[in-house]
């Protein structure tokens, strides 16, 4: 730690409840950020500026112009080049704080990789946009006694829940089962205000810093719900549920892969994602070679992309595939079968 009275974290250290000892703990901490969109990008920035020693960023998506209204780490150049969010965020965060370790991973968090992605991390923060990933993170954290901070934002409202396994209610105490997709609003239908995102992300970051600095007892044990448009903040008591599938019955079907979705409709993209295709073991160069007869394609270090009429296919290293132009999984799967024989 820099001994200068005006070092990088001096103002943070002078906050008496945290102090130099708390700052040392923060600088030694390792955190997994799941999702680098609206919440995740701001969360990551807050943690990087606070000096968290290692930040592992995981995101499956790329930057688009419509992201810039609320996703604070990205630029118009990132959108023009369709840069993967994890990579673009890591580059910007490295400019903000070169003294810490930042690990970007351009992939989807799934039952078969979460153990590796979370390895060595003492806290997980939620920057995702879908319930299935949150259920998976909850399974992992409850089973492995790892705290995590959930956040969600839609319209002008949002919520934060700090989950301390064995001490507090878990996410499935709040939401026992996956809601049907048709019952959920999305940013496509309800929109989202940038300031509301900032409020939720900053509350999540504050909860994270309490835990990382050794002040776990100060973490909020209630569900925080904020409506930034009507200026309303509520704290809602949430008890652990004895019949909760995760923390009550210790069943983890999302972590074992018993419950998983083959196709995922991506929020805000008019797109469907498939987790695995027949070329999962092929290099991007091999995939590009197979796509070349179908038309012009673009390629970077992370994916190959090709336009097929009203559709666009993006195939990532490892085989994950996104079909833009529809939110119908059968329609997207039919397109892949017709054009690529998969």
pLDDT tens figures, 236-285: 999 999 999 999 999 999 999 999 887 888 877 888 998 765 666 788 88
Both 201 and 290 in one domain: the answer is: no
The answer as to whether 336 is a domain residue is yes
Q: State residue 283's pLDDT score.
A: 87
Both 247 and 271 in one domain: the answer is: no
The answer as to whether 1 is a domain residue is no
Structural domain total, the chain: 2
- C-beta separation of 24 from 18 below 8 A: no
How far is 206 from 38, CA to CA, in rounded Å? 17
Give the bridge partners for 274, in sequence order. Answer: 263, 321
The answer as to whether 38 is a domain residue is yes
Q: State residue 279's pLDDT score.
A: 66
CA nearest to 131, candidates 38, 261, 237, 226: 261
CB hemisphere CA count around 102 (13 angstroms): 25
SS3 assignment, position 107: coil
Residue 145 Cα to chain centre, angstroms: 20
Domain that holds residue 155: 10-256
Percent of the chain predicted with pLDDT > 90: 73
Residue 6 Cα to chain centre, angstroms: 34
The answer as to whether 28 is a domain residue is yes
Both 184 and 312 in one domain: the answer is: no
Instruction: Give the CATH number, domain containing residue 140.
Output: 3.40.50.720
How far is 300 from 80, CA to CA, in rounded Å? 13
Both 247 and 128 in one domain: the answer is: yes
The answer as to whether 227 is a domain residue is yes
How far is 269 from 326, CA to CA, in rounded Å? 9
How far is 319 from 281, CA to CA, in rounded Å? 7
Both 107 and 192 in one domain: the answer is: yes
| Boundary-marking domain end, from 234, 256, 278 | 256
> Quick check: 2 pLDDT over 60?
no
Q: State residue 329's pLDDT score.
A: 87
Both 117 and 212 in one domain: the answer is: yes
List, for residues 300-342, the tens digit of each pLDDT value.
889 999 998 899 999 988 888 999 999 888 898 888 887 776 5
Both 32 and 131 in one domain: the answer is: yes
Q: State residue 27's pLDDT score.
A: 98
* Long-range CB contacts (within 8 A, 24+) of 68-74: 69/194, 70/38, 70/192, 70/193, 70/194, 70/197, 71/37, 71/38, 71/41, 71/42, 72/41, 72/42, 72/45, 73/36, 73/41, 73/42, 73/44, 73/45, 74/41
Dig out the tokens for 54 from the structure.
């290692």
> Quick check: 3 pLDDT over 70?
no
Both 312 and 231 in one domain: the answer is: no
Both 246 and 216 in one domain: the answer is: yes
- C-beta separation of 40 from 34 below 8 A: yes
Number of Cβ atoms within 10 Å of the Cβ of 95 = 7
């Amino acid at each position: 730690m820099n001994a200068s009275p005006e070092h990088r974290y001096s103002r943070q250290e002078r906050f008496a409840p945290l102090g130099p000892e708390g700052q040392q703990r923060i600088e030694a901490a390792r955190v997994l950020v799941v999702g680098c969109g609206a919440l995740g990008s701001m969360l990551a920035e807050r943690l990087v500026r606070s000096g968290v020693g290692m930040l592992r960023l995981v995101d499956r998506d790329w930057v688009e112009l419509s992201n810039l209204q609320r996703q604070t780490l990205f630029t118009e150049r990132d959108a023009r080049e369709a840069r993967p969010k994890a990579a673009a965020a890591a580059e910007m965060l490295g400019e903000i704080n070169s003294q810490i370790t930042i690990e970007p991973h351009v992939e989807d968090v799934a039952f078969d990789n979460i153990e590796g992605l979370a390895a060595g991390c003492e806290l997980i923060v939620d920057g995702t946009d879908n319930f299935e990933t949150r259920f998976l993170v909850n399974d992992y954290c409850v089973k492995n006694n790892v705290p995590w901070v959930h956040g969600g934002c839609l319209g002008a409202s949002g919520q934060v829940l700090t989950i301390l396994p064995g001490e507090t209610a878990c996410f499935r105490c709040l939401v026992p089962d996956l809601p049907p997709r048709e019952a959920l609003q999305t940013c496509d239908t309800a929109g989202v205000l940038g300031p509301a995102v900032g409020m939720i992300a900053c509350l999540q970051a504050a909860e994270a810093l309490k835990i990382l600095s050794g002040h776990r007892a100060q973490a909020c044990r209630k569900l925080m719900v904020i409506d930034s448009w009507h200026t309303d903040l509520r704290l809602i008591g949430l008890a652990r549920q004895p019949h909760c599938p995760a923390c009550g019955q210790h069943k983890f079907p999302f972590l074992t892969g018993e419950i998983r979705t083959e196709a995922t409709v991506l929020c805000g993209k008019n797109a469907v994602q498939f987790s695995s295709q027949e070329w999962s073991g092929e290099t991007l160069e091999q995939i590009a070679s197979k796509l070349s007869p179908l038309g012009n394609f673009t390629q970077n270090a992370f994916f190959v992309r090709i336009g097929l009429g009203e559709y666009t296919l993006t195939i990532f290293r490892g085989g994950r595939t996104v079909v833009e132009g529809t939110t119908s999984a059968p329609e997207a799967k039919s397109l892949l079968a017709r054009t690529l024989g998969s």
